[in-house]
Structure 1
Amino acid sequence: MDAENALVLVAEDEPEIADVIAAYLEREGFRTVRAADGRTALELHLALKPDLVMLDVQMPRLNGWDVLAELRRRGSTPVIMLTALDQDIDKLQALRIGADDYVVKPFNALEVAARARAVLRRSGGSRGSILRVGPIEIDMDSHLASVIVGYDPQRVSLSLTLTEFRILAHMARAPRRAFSRGELVDACLPGGDALDRTVDTHLSKLRRKLEEAGAHGFINNVRGVGFRLADIS
């Protein structure tokens, strides 16, 4: 999995450290969300399904070991442990519970970003069924689409028809590309007698639903061509 658009949950209770990690990750093309304690980290993991978790060991409410154990019970989200504990037994415990990597403080933020990229690459794209364009997230396995909005991110589910979902997913595979009406008919309305203008109706409804969920300006008309899915404002 590439860093572009990958979502990283930074679970770190020291704001200064969280700020530095987030800044470097975002500069490398990641998106970030933060949690200042273990319970919030688990709540955000459940709500947002991040591609990677940067997890501090010593956190309030629930420590990193307990958070890691729960993450492993839930699935295989890659985890990099961040800690001031520089003991072999701590490293072994992290690996035993299921961490993918281990970084000891103080650390070089560039190194952390590089390790994040490496861990995602090694994970082999386990989140390949998730498509993202800005705040829009499409889960191809579950056939669900949502918009993640707000400073304290919230997931807003989209109620889409099958055709609307197909159109959104098809365009999300190549964000910023301009699709003709004919292409969208062939890809998303197969086997029917749909006319090109039918796509306009579906896209109009899809645009309205995205905007109502908080994703404004993501379906754009391209003069003489068709439509593009991208925030180019």
Structure 2
Amino acid sequence: MAQARVLMIEDDQLITDPVLEALQTAGYEVLTAADGRRGLELALTRQPHLVLLDIMLPQMDGWAVCKAIRSESTVPILMVTALNDEVDRILGLELGADDYLTKPFSTRELLARVRATLRRVAFEHQDDKPPTELTIGDVRLDLEARRAFKGGRELQLRYKEFELLSLLMGRAGEAVSRPELFDEIWGTDWLGDTRTLDVHVRWLREKLEDNPGKPVYVQTVRGIGYRFIAPDEV
């Protein structure tokens, strides 16, 4: 899967540093600009997949940057700002922004917005219908019937186990972070025990792996999360 490139136009280093770290940990390539003019230049020359745009910027404010980008590009723009009046949100959307996030915010919420925006754009631009089946090696998922098979044998998966396997297989070879797995499978408002993810991974391995104690398909990526490894990568 190609690495998505995110451009962050923000002049507050106290915000830039933690957001940059969170985005890079989540697997994104990140470009940064501390003023509007430099941000506009990068937006038009480096072709990011998403722009995170502050409003109160030196050289050129976010409103002008948003308008200039939109006149040249359809790249999705997520405005990130301390201005939270309704009129500000409406103005941003009318100038072409795709979403609006007010400060202060958590990096977890920002990542959820980034992922949702990128997924929506990818869906809107695809020519074909979403796949109804996913096959990697001898593991096959029927996404419509919600059935999983390995070597022709059906796996009796719980609802969350199927969600976990389909997410990992859909991004085979990519390390998917624990926060992202929770956001995608349990929802951003999950307040339960975080060990539930590890329990579901263990259950999934018991049904999928020949030796659950030495997993081949669902591997742990220390300090990050999990990934599904295709047989030809093992």
Which runs of structure 2 are paired with 1:21-40 in the superposition (5 Å)? Answer: 21-40=19-38
2:90 match: 92
TM-superposed deviation, 1:4: 5.7
- Match for 2:7: what amino acid? L
Partner of 2:108: 110
Structure 1 residue 75 displacement after superposition: 1.7
**Does structure 1 retain, via aligned residues, the 8 Å contact 2:44–2:69?**
no
**Within 2, Cα distance between the matches of 1:125 and 1:52?**
15
> What residue in structure 2 maps to residue 122 of structure 1?
120
Where in structure 1 are there 5+ consecutive unaligned residues? 129-173, 176-233
- Determine which of 49, 52, 77 is the counterpart of 1:51: 49
| Unpaired segments ≥5 residues, structure 2 | 127-171, 174-234
Q: Distance between the aligned counterparts of 2:100 and 2:8, measured in 1?
A: 14
Rounded to whole Å, the distance in 1 between the matches of 2:22 and 2:2 is 13
Q: Do 1:4 and 1:30's aligned partners in 2 also have CA atoms closer than 8 Å? A: no
**CA–CA distance in 1 between the matches of 2:49 and 2:83?**
25
Following superposition, the deviation at residue 45 of structure 1 comes to 1.3
* Aligned pairs (5 A) from 1:41-190: 41-124=39-122
Q: How does 1:179-218 map to 2 (within 5 A)?
A: none
**Secondary structure in 2 aligned to 1:29?**
coil
Tell me, in whole angstroms, the C-alpha distance in 2 between the residues paired with 1:14 and 1:85. Answer: 15
Q: Distance in 2 between matches of 1:124 and 1:72?
A: 18
Distance, in Å, in 2 between the alignment partners of 1:4 and 1:84 is 32
Match in the other structure for 1:155: none
Indicate if the aligned counterparts of 1:4 and 1:29 stay in contact, CA closer than 8 A: no
Q: CA deviation at 1:88?
A: 0.4
Partner Cα distance (2:39, 2:109) in 1: 23
- Runs (4+) off by over 3 Å: 125-128
SS of the residue 2:122 aligns to: coil
The RMSD of aligned alpha carbons is 2.3
Partner SS for 1:58: coil
CA distance in 1, matches of 2:69, 2:19: 21
Percent identity over paired residues: 41
Q: How many residues align?
A: 129
Deviation at 1:127, TM superposition (A): 8.1
Deviation at 1:16, TM superposition (A): 1.6
Q: Distance in 1 between matches of 2:92 and 2:76?
A: 12
Q: Name the SS for the 1:123 alignment partner.
A: helix
2:7 aligned partner: 9
**TM-score, with normalisation over the residues of structure 1?**
0.52
Report the alpha carbon displacement of residue 62 of structure 1 after superposing the two structures with TM: 0.2
Would the aligned equivalents of 1:58 and 1:64 in 2 still touch at CA under 8 Å? Answer: yes
Cα displacement (A) at 1:124: 2.1
TM-score, structure 2 as length reference? 0.52
Task: Provide the rounded CA distance (Å) in 1 between the counterparts of 2:65 and 2:87.
Answer: 18
Give, in whole Å, the separation in 1 of the partners of 2:55 and 2:27. Answer: 25
* C-alpha distance in 2 between matches for 1:27 and 1:72: 29
Residue deviations 1:89-144 (CA, integer Å, cap 9, x gap): 0011111111111000011111101100100111126788xxxxxxxxxxxxxxxx
CA-CA distance at 1:28 after TM superposition: 1.2
Contact 1:51 1:127 in 2 (8 A): no
